[in-house]
Amino acid sequence: MLLNALFPTRDIGTDPAKIRDWAQAAEDLGYHCIEVADHVFGAAPRGDWRPTYSEHDPFHETFTTMAFIAAVTKTIKLCSGVLILPQRQTGLVAKQAAQVDVLSGGRLRLGVGVGWNHVEYEALGTDWKTRGARQAEQIEVMRRLWTQDFVTFDGKFHKMVDVNILPAPVQRPIPIWFGGSSEAVIRRAARIGDGWMPILAPDSQAEAKLALLRHHLAAFGRDPATFGLEGWLRVDTPDEALWAKAVQGWQRFGAQMVMLYPMYRMPELDRQIETLRRFKQVANG
């Protein structure tokens, strides 16, 4: 099973040397991919609404960070984990993704989601209510921009006439994986995605979601053998027994890869790197 490393965006700080050292440690330890989270804005609680991350949580900009990591590593894959696609301009995302793919030599995987933060959507001037439909159209547009010499498109959210992106990405198209676990997201992933990366414990709920995914893959004529699955192990404690149980569960469910997603804070670089070492030992039994 492949292991992916979540970039510790809230705790790594702003020293480029520490970012380099962490990324190179992940690569040296044999991790398959580094995944970089996405939030443009922090948001304070209001009324009954409480954000998962607040105005005190720093998030490094996703594409800039992946480009920097590409320059200080050689082979490890890079992934947005996940980019909140509908709150961004489609053409700009396509351009940024293509550039990271070029600079990394074709190592990018674009992870996308629709998000949970309506406050962030509003602050970015984008529509929260149409995010699912917009995401689906965005993916169609981006794939055309990555693979065609000129793109003309007339849809509900996009109007383009003879435009292109140069330099083109190395991968034509760049793989797109979906985050999220709602029924609408699972269906959309099965229809137009290359893989799925849910934040779910490997329990009966996840098993039911996977059955739904397989149902939709069959309905859309997709080959499940070519569709990726990554389990995100969101944990609140550095309990290695729980890590091992989650890895084994996702392995039974057929995941090709897993990623440890600590929700607890680790402000020390040494501890962040040690966590990578420990998770690798646990996952490899």
Positions of the chain with pLDDT under 50: none
Question: 189, 179, 58: which is closest to 111 by C-alpha?
Answer: 179
Helices 16-28 and 269-283 pack at an angle, to 10 degrees, of 20
Contact 114, 80 (CB under 8 A): no
pLDDT of the residue at 25: 98
pLDDT of the residue at 216: 98
| HSE, side-chain direction, 13 A CA sphere, residue 195 | 22
The predicted-structure confidence for 196-247, as pLDDT tens digits, reads as follows 999 999 999 999 999 999 999 999 999 999 999 999 999 999 999 999 999 9
Question: 12, 180, 222, 162: which is closest to 85 by C-alpha?
Answer: 180
With left for phi above 0 and alpha for psi between -120 and 50, is residue 115 left, alpha or beta? left
Query: How many whole angstroms from its chain centre is CA 267?
Result: 22
Q: Which domains does the chain have, with CATH numbers?
A: 2-283 (3.20.20.30)
% pLDDT > 70, the chain: 100
With left for phi above 0 and alpha for psi between -120 and 50, is residue 55 left, alpha or beta? alpha
The predicted-structure confidence for 235-246, as pLDDT tens digits, reads as follows 999 999 999 999
